[in-house]
Amino acid sequence: MRLHQKLCLGASALALTACAILGKEQTATPKQTCTPQTVELMKKLGVEAGQKGSMLLEAELPGGPQDYGVYRQGQVTSRLETAVGTLPAGTLVDGVLWMDTGKVQAHYTQARTPDGQTLPVCLVLGSSAPGGVYAEAGTTPSSINLPRSVPFTVVDTFQ
């Protein structure tokens, strides 16, 4: 095989690898909605858009709130550290975590209170809508580095 052909093959392989890696930097935004019924129920519970709090990003990950963790894109169960409305600290919230061009996003649609109630909610990761927090150094599409304790915000629509 000629040197020119080898160089072209090598360059093509490198370009394809770069495209595959860069293509994973952003995951498709999950199609989730915050229905009017959910917003109405949240209001009855004293959980209203704009309220903020903190949560442990992965409820079962060992360590304390000051520690860092490594997370994966996909389903996530977080634990509220602070109460919001009548949802007490310790409530588990289920959602989807994904990367969006260097920012980590999560939409939470279900809460499970310590007394066993399951309720629909609309929460986002981050201290303001539309949500998200910036990933820490060393984050890759398959290994997201973040503090265990992160802010969340109640929303009435997912953007």
Q: Enumerate residues 6+ apart whose C-beta is below 8 A from 30.
A: 96, 98, 107
What confidence score (pLDDT) does residue 29 get? 56
Separation CA 124–CA 155 (nearest Å):
7
> Do 141 and 73 meet the contact criterion of CB atoms below 8 Å apart?
yes
Which residues face 144 on adjacent strands?
Answer: 71
Separation CA 33–CA 17 (nearest Å):
35
What confidence score (pLDDT) does residue 53 get? 97
The residue ranges of the chain whose pLDDT is under 70 are: 1-31
Which tokens in the block code for residue 97?
């975590």
Q: Enumerate residues 6+ apart whose C-beta is below 8 A from 66.
A: 147, 148, 149
What confidence score (pLDDT) does residue 46 get? 97
What global pTM score does this model have?
A: 0.80
Separation CA 153–CA 128 (nearest Å):
6
